[in-house]
């Protein structure tokens, strides 16, 4: 393990005086671990499941063009996973989690194309603020096995690198404003979301609250809209992330 190199990065990253210096420090750390490629991204909408805006990175020549031309951001399993992830994850974990997805054939083609560009495996480290996803760091290339301790330290490194970059660009205040979201819920919405978090179905929630299934679904649809969630599972994930339930 090269934990010492991550710890050194964590100490020095705050002393970076320019974005170029920060970039060199990131690339030096990744080189130590054998990661050839990376991307540091800013997600303008807290719960957006798009690829986000690249702020630093290095990818194989030609890959970004192929990725965009074939509309892979729409089905990229790592992006799909990132929208609900509570912790760092490996690319292959995202692929396995979506094995029953109707877009799986296109996902497999994307991963095959990525492999031809030297992108065989990697990790994604989400950067969360109080109200949701703010950014992420993706690292990849050849398959590298990180220990749990290394993965935790890499997560800390990704967060520090992200915030230091935003500080150097004078964008911290704008970032915090962009992350604001209205999470004021009614008493009934809180009751529904708590029961959802306990794993109850719409029918079970309806019985517990003495309301109709249709009314429960109406509340859940409202929660999805308010939290900008894709489905009820995403509602629960965001509720935990935002501290609405614990």
Q: How far is the C-alpha of 5 from the C-alpha of 10, rounded, in Å? A: 9
Is domain 3-178 given the CATH code 3.60.15.10 in the classification? no
Predicted pLDDT of residue 51: 55
The token duo for 120 is 């065989």
User: What is the mean predicted confidence (pLDDT) over 139-146?
Assistant: 94
Question: Which 8-state DSSP code applies to residue 230?
Answer: S
The token duo for 203 is 């029918």
Within the chain, strands assigned E span 35-42, 53-58, 89-90, 121-129, 132-141
Q: How far is the C-alpha of 205 from the C-alpha of 52, rounded, in Å? A: 36
Distance set, CA 241 to CA 1, 13, 127, 165 (Å): 31, 26, 12, 24
Q: What is the pLDDT of residues 196-240, one digit of tens each?
A: 888 899 999 998 888 999 999 999 998 888 888 888 888 888 777
What share of the chain in percent tops pLDDT 70?
A: 87
* Domain locations along the chain: 3-178, 187-241
| pTM tops 0.75, yes or no | no
Residue 49 has pLDDT above 50, yes or no: no
Predicted pLDDT of residue 239: 77
Buried-exposed string 73-84: b where 16+ CB fall within 10 A, e elsewhere? eebbbbbbbbbb
CATH code of 187-241, in short, is 1.10.10.10
Q: Which residue has the higher pLDDT, 124 or 83?
A: 124
The H-or-E segment that residue 224 falls in is: helix 213-227
User: What is the mean predicted confidence (pLDDT) over 163-181?
Assistant: 70
Residue 50 has pLDDT above 50, yes or no: no
128 — pLDDT class (breaks 50, 70, 90)? confident
């Amino acid at each position: 393990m090269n934990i010492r190199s991550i710890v050194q990065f964590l100490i020095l990253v705050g002393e970076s005086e320019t974005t170029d210096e920060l970039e060199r420090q990131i690339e030096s750390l990744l080189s130590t671990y054998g990661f050839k490629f990376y991307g540091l991204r800013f997600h303008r909408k807290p719960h957006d499941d798009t690829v986000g805006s690249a702020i630093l990175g290095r990818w194989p020549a030609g890959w970004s063009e192929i990725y965009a031309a074939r509309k892979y951001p729409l089905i990229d399993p790592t992006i799909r996973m990132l929208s609900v992830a509570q912790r760092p994850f490996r690319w292959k974990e995202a692929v396995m989690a979506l094995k029953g997805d109707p877009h799986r054939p296109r996902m497999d083609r994307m991963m095959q194309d990525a492999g031809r560009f030297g992108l065989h495996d990697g990790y994604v480290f989400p950067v969360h603020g109080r109200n949701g996803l703010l950014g992420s760091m993706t690292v990849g290339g050849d398959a590298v096995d990180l220990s749990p301790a290394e993965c935790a330290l890499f997560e800390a490194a990704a967060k520090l690198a992200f915030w230091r970059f935003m500080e150097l660009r004078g964008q911290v205040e704008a970032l915090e404003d962009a992350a604001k979201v209205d999470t004021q819920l009614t008493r009934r919405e809180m009751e529904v979301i708590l029961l959802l978090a306990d794993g109850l179905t719409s029918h079970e929630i309806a019985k517990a609250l003495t309301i109709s299934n249709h009314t429960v679904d109406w509340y859940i649809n409202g929660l999805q809209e308010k939290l900008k969630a894709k489905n009820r599972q995403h509602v629960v994930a965001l509720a935990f992330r935002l501290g609405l339930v614990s």
